[in-house]
Amino acid sequence: MEVFFSLAKIVVAFVIILQLTLLLLWVERKGSALIQDRVGANRANLFGGLLPFNLGIVNTWMADPLKLFHKEDIVPTEADHFLHWLAPFVAIVPLFVTFAVIPFGDVLRVGGYTIDLVAAPIPASVLFVLAMASLAVYGVVIGGWASNSRYSFLGGVRGTAQMISYELALSLSIVSVVLTFGTFDLQEIARAQGQLIWGVIPAWGVFYQPVALILLFIAGMAESKRAPFDLPEAESEIVAGFFTEYSGSKLSVFMMADFVEIGIVAALVTTLFFGGWQVPWLGREGFQFPGGFAIALPSLVVTLLQFVAFLVKLFVFCWLQILVRWSLPRMRYDHLMAFGWKRLLPLGLVNVGLTAVLVLLFDGWTVK
């Protein structure tokens, strides 16, 4: 049974990130259309117009992936064929593995079993996230090098420098949260945020580490190479950057990796700063509102509410990243690097130092 439950959790986590990827594809296209005052994608039809109605969002979800996966895979003559094939998978596999340690609920009790709702319950899951996130850069490097193209190579170099620069600020923001809650376990960090400040305010990380939230969100967007940090794939400068020479299914994998990165950044923001699966004043027995008013709920209903709360928060922060992507212009490359090294990095160091002092002086200032 333990093996079955473990497989079931892996499937749930995998389905969440895959469906989120398809949904974000639609949100990006329709959201950008709304921002730019145009209609957007509304002609996709899986059955070539044979049906008397259009399936709408379902068609948009399915049409682009099917189109890309059925297009011809063209590899440049002078490219390294093996590395050209390998790069997309090196870019996306660490991202899928990263999502396995994101908790999407507390526990589920089935019969005599208690199931921890995280696909891979690793005690040092924060370190695992940082390790896997750092591996994704190899897909960019290999893709840029293997294509044997100046545009691709320049995009790979840009992507490498950018990821190294902003990964420091990203790591420092997470270190501040780890110092605050005193654990490397993302599930325990989420559980700690279920307490109340002064008996009223949820003890979410945003109230303890607002600076770390800003650092993580900005550095996360830079790590995912999204506008205004999309220099590795700047169309007006280097065509499409490191995946200029990719087409068909390989191109779709690189595109999927972009959306998975959006989901991971949103999941980290949700888990570290907004309670993860926590619902304000909702405990294992039901709602316990300030003032003594309570609403008893079955354990399964509580688990479902927590799962839905995680998904809603996850989607909100994904949507916010897409909104930023279509609202701000691309940064100049020297400004991009200077912002990471001269602004975010010093701010992250100061925040970590201040957090350490507060933890030392007050033996941790979170609710115990």
Question: What is the model's pLDDT at position 35?
Answer: 81
Which residues 6+ apart lie within 8 Å of 331 measured at CB? 228, 229, 231, 339
Residue 269 is encoded by which pair of tokens?
Answer: 């923001």
Question: What is the model's pLDDT at position 216?
Answer: 93
Q: Helix (H, G, I), strand (E, B), or coil: what is residue 47?
A: coil
The pLDDT tens digits of the residues spanning 220-242 come to 888 877 778 887 776 666 766 77
Weakly modelled stretches of the chain, pLDDT under 70 = 1, 42-62, 234-237, 239-240, 364-368
Question: What is the model's pLDDT at position 57?
Answer: 56
CA distance 41 to 289: 44
Residue 27 is encoded by which pair of tokens?
Answer: 């949100």
Q: DSSP 3-state helix, strand, coil percentages of the chain (rounded to 5)?
A: 65, 5, 30
Question: What is the model's pLDDT at position 59?
Answer: 57
The pLDDT tens digits of the residues spanning 257-302 come to 888 888 999 999 999 999 989 998 888 888 888 877 888 888 889 8
Which residues 6+ apart lie within 8 Å of 101 measured at CB? 118, 119, 120, 121, 122, 125, 128, 129, 186
Is there a contact between 310 and 12 (Cβ–Cβ < 8 Å)?
A: no
